C-alpha cells in the first residue's frame, strides 16, 4: 500500500515547518537522550539526527533548569522542537514562551481544569499544537482489565478522555499517540482510534529495546499499522544511540513505499549457486551509498536465476556470474564488470543517478 489514496484522511497539524497529517509525507521523530540542561550536547545531537533525515525532535522538560535551557535550544535547533511536559502546568506555559513548536503532555496529569484551559489558550494564541500521549505502561487503573493489564479499548478511552479536556476549552490542534510494548495491542488500539477521530496519529512501539532487536520489533509493529493506511508521524523508540531511531524509521517507511530518502540495497541470500563474495560487496555498497539523498533501489544479486530479473527492476544492479557481474541500469544491461570492480562501479552509478535526482548527500 504505498499510495496516498490508501492513507487515512486526517486534519493537518503544523509543527513548525513540518506538516503532520492531511496527506503530508509521514514525518520521522526522535527524542534527545542528552540532559536538556547540557545545551551544547543537546544541540549536537539534534544536528546529528537532522543530518540523517529526522524531521522533528523532542526534549524532556522535567524542571526549571531544563526550561531555562529551552530558549537557546529552540533558537539554534535546525528542527522543530517539541517540549515533553508532565505534571507541572507552569513548565508547559514556560515552554510555549520559549517558542517550542509543539507540546507533548497529558492534560489528565495536570490535574486542575483551569490550568489545562490556561495551557490551551496560550498554545492556541501561539499556534502551537499539543500531542496527547497514552502509554500502556502508565495508563490509569480504571482502564485496565480484571487482571490489571491494559486493553486496546481502555487505551483509546484514556486518550479520548484527555482529548475531551482540550476540546472542552476549544482547543483542537491535536496529535494523538497510543503506544504499547505489544505489537498486537498497538495495532488493535490504533485501528479503533483511527475509526473514532480525524486527528493525526503519532505511532511508536514503546520501550522496544536496544538495537538491533528493538529495530525488528518496531519494524514489525509499525509495519502492521502503517500498512493499513494509519499513521502520520513515527518515532522508533530504541535504547541508546538516537541515530538508530531515525535510520530504522526511514527503513520501515521506505520498504512500505511510504517515504524513501536514501538508497535501499537489496541482495540475495547467497545460496550454493552464488559465485561472488556477495556479503562484503553488498555491505560495502550499502555503506558507501548511505549518504546519498536519493530514493534509489540498488540490487546486488549473486546468480543467474533471480539476478537478472531483480537487477532489471532496480535503478541499478549487478547480476552475478563466475567472478564477475553484469551491470544493469534501469532495466537495460550495460556491461560486464569484474568482481573486484563491482563496488566501485555500483557506487559510481548510484552517485550519477543521485546527482540527476537533485543531490548527492543528506
Strand partners, 132: 105, 176
Number of folded domains that form the chain: 2
321, with CB counted inside 10 A (0-12, 13-18, 19+), is: middle
In a domain, 362, yes or no: no
Residue 1: predicted pLDDT: 43
**CATH label of the domain that carries residue 55:** 3.20.20.20
Bridge-based pairing of strands 130-135 and 18-20 is: unpaired
Task: Work out the average pLDDT over 248-270.
Answer: 91
Q: Please indicate, yes or no, whether residues 248 and 278 belong to a single structural domain of this protein.
A: no
Is residue 143 predicted with pLDDT exceeding 60?
Answer: yes
Q: How far apart are the first and last CA of the chain?
A: 26
In a domain, 224, yes or no: yes
In a domain, 361, yes or no: no
In a domain, 289, yes or no: yes
Domain boundary among 255, 287, 313: 255
Segment among 140-154, 219-233, 257-271, 309-323 with least mean pLDDT? 140-154
Asked if 250 contacts 53 with a C-beta cutoff of 8 angstroms, the reply is yes
Q: Please indicate, yes or no, whether residues 112 and 172 belong to a single structural domain of this protein.
A: yes
Mean pLDDT (the chain) is: 92
In a domain, 313, yes or no: yes
Bridge-based pairing of strands 332-338 and 324-329 is: antiparallel
pLDDT in tens, 53-85: 999 999 999 999 999 999 999 999 999 999 999
Which among 344, 202, 226 is positioned nearest to 281, based on CA atoms?
A: 344
Q: Please indicate, yes or no, whether residues 297 and 244 belong to a single structural domain of this protein.
A: no
- Identify the sign of the CA torsion 287, 350, 45, 33: negative
Rounded Cα distance, 132 and 159, in Å: 7
Q: How many residues does the chain have?
A: 362
Is residue 45 predicted with pLDDT exceeding 60?
Answer: yes
**CATH label of the domain that carries residue 286:** 3.30.413.10
User: Could you give the residue ranges of the DSSP H alpha helices within 173-255?
Assistant: 183-196, 213-226, 242-255
Which among 296, 300, 295 is positioned nearest to 343, based on CA atoms?
A: 300
Which among 256, 339, 334 is positioned nearest to 300, based on CA atoms?
A: 339
In a domain, 53, yes or no: yes
Q: Please indicate, yes or no, whether residues 199 and 95 belong to a single structural domain of this protein.
A: yes
Task: Work out the average pLDDT over 93-101.
Answer: 98
Residue 361: predicted pLDDT: 57
Distance from the Cα of residue 44 to its chain's centroid: 20
Residue 5: predicted pLDDT: 56
Q: Is the peptide bond before 212 cis (omega within 30 degrees of 0)?
A: yes
Which among 147, 175, 146 is positioned nearest to 159, based on CA atoms?
A: 175
Asked if 247 contacts 52 with a C-beta cutoff of 8 angstroms, the reply is yes
Q: In the structure, what pLDDT confidence band is assigned to residue 294 with cuts at 50, 70 and 90? A: confident
Domain boundary among 226, 255, 284: 255
In a domain, 11, yes or no: yes
Which among 182, 139, 180, 130 is positioned nearest to 158, based on CA atoms?
A: 139
Distances (CA, A) of 328 to 298, 332, 360: 10, 5, 21
Q: Please indicate, yes or no, whether residues 156 and 274 belong to a single structural domain of this protein.
A: no
pLDDT in tens, 182-237: 999 999 999 999 999 999 999 999 989 999 999 999 999 999 999 999 999 999 99
Q: Please indicate, yes or no, whether residues 167 and 282 belong to a single structural domain of this protein.
A: no
pTM for the predicted model, two decimal places: 0.89
Rounded Cα distance, 12 and 90, in Å: 27
Distances (CA, A) of 3 to 55, 251, 257, 303: 21, 17, 8, 33
Q: Please indicate, yes or no, whether residues 210 and 271 belong to a single structural domain of this protein.
A: no
Rounded Cα distance, 27 and 65, in Å: 30
Q: In the structure, what pLDDT confidence band is assigned to residue 3 with cuts at 50, 70 and 90? A: very low
DSSP 96-151: HHHT-SEEEE-GGGT--HHHHHHHHHHHHHHT--EEEEEETTS--GGGB-TTS-B-
Q: In the structure, what pLDDT confidence band is assigned to residue 273 with cuts at 50, 70 and 90? A: confident
Task: Work out the average pLDDT over 9-27.
Answer: 96
Asked if 251 contacts 219 with a C-beta cutoff of 8 angstroms, the reply is yes
Q: In the structure, what pLDDT confidence band is assigned to residue 358 with cuts at 50, 70 and 90? A: low
Q: In the structure, what pLDDT confidence band is assigned to residue 344 with cuts at 50, 70 and 90? A: very high
Rounded Cα distance, 298 and 281, in Å: 12
Which among 256, 262, 257 is positioned nearest to 286, based on CA atoms?
A: 262
Q: Please indicate, yes or no, whether residues 54 and 137 belong to a single structural domain of this protein.
A: yes
Q: Please indicate, yes or no, whether residues 8 and 148 belong to a single structural domain of this protein.
A: yes
Q: Please indicate, yes or no, whether residues 192 and 312 belong to a single structural domain of this protein.
A: no
Q: Domain residues for 273?
A: 264-356
In a domain, 36, yes or no: yes
Task: Work out the average pLDDT over 324-338.
Answer: 94
Q: Please indicate, yes or no, whether residues 229 and 293 belong to a single structural domain of this protein.
A: no
Asked if 78 contacts 46 with a C-beta cutoff of 8 angstroms, the reply is yes
Q: Please indicate, yes or no, whether residues 174 and 271 belong to a single structural domain of this protein.
A: no
Distance from the Cα of residue 344 to its chain's centroid: 31
Name 142's Cβ contacts closer than 8 Å, sequence gap at least 6. none
Domain boundary among 227, 255, 283: 255
Amino acid at each position: 500500500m504505498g499510495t496516498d489514496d490508501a492513507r487515512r484522511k486526517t486534519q493537518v497539524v503544523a509543527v513548525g515547518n513540518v506538516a503532520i497529517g492531511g496527506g503530508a509525507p509521514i514525518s520521522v521523530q526522535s527524542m534527545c537522550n542528552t540532559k536538556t540542561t547540557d545545551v551544547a550536547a543537546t544541540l549536537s545531537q539534534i544536528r546529528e539526527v537532522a543530518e540523517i533525515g529526522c524531521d522533528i525532535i523532542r526534549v524532556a522538560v522535567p524542571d526549571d533548569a531544563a526550561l531555562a535551557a529551552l530558549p537557546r535550544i529552540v533558537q539554534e535547533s535546525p528542527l522543530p522542537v517539541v517540549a515533553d511536559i508532565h505534571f507541572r502546568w507552569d513548565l508547559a506555559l514556560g515552554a510555549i514562551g520559549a517558542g517550542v513548536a509543539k507540546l507533548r503532555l497529558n492534560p489528565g496529569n495536570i490535574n486542575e481544569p483551569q490550568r489545562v484551559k490556561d495551557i490551551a489558550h496560550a498554545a492556541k494564541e501561539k499556534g502551537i499544537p499539543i500531542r496527547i500521549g497514552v502509554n500502556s505502561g502508565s495508563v490509569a487503573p480504571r482502564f485496565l482489565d480484571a487482571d490489571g493489564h491494559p486493553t486496546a479499548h481502555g487505551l483509546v478511552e484514556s486518550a479520548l478522555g484527555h482529548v475531551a479536556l482540550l476540546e472542552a476549552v476549544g482547543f483542537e490542534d491535536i496529535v494523538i499517540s497510543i503506544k504499547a510494548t505489544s505489537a498486537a495491542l498497538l495495532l488493535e488500539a490504533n485501528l479503533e482510534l483511527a475509526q473514532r477521530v480525524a486527528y493525526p496519529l503519532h505511532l511508536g512501539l514503546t520501550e522496544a529495546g536496544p538495537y538491533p532487536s528493538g529495530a525488528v520489533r518496531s519494524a514489525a509493529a509499525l509495519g502492521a499499522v502503517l500498512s493499513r493506511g494509519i499513521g502520520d508521524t513515527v518515532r522508533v523508540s530504541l535504547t541508546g544511540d538516537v541515530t538508530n531511531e531515525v535510520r530504522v524509521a526511514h527503513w520501515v517507511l521506505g520498504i512500505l513505499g511510504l517515504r524513501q530518502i536514501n538508497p535501499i540495497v537489496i541482495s540475495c541470500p547467497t545460496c550454493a549457486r552464488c559465485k561472488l563474495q556477495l556479503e562484503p560487496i553488498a555491505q560495502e555498497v550499502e555503506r558507501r551509498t548511505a549518504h546519498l539523498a536519493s530514493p534509489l533501489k540498488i540490487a546486488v544479486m549473486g546468480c543467474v536465476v533471480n539476478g537478472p530479473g531483480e537487477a532489471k527492476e532496480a535503478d541499478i544492479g549487478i547480476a552475478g556470474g563466475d567472478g564477475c557481474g553484469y551491470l544493469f541500469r534501469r532495466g537495460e544491461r550495460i556491461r560486464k564488470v569484474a568482481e573486484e570492480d563491482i563496488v566501485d562501479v555500483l557506487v559510481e552509478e548510484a552517485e550519477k543517478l543521485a546527482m540527476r535526482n537533485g543531490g548527492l548527500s543528506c
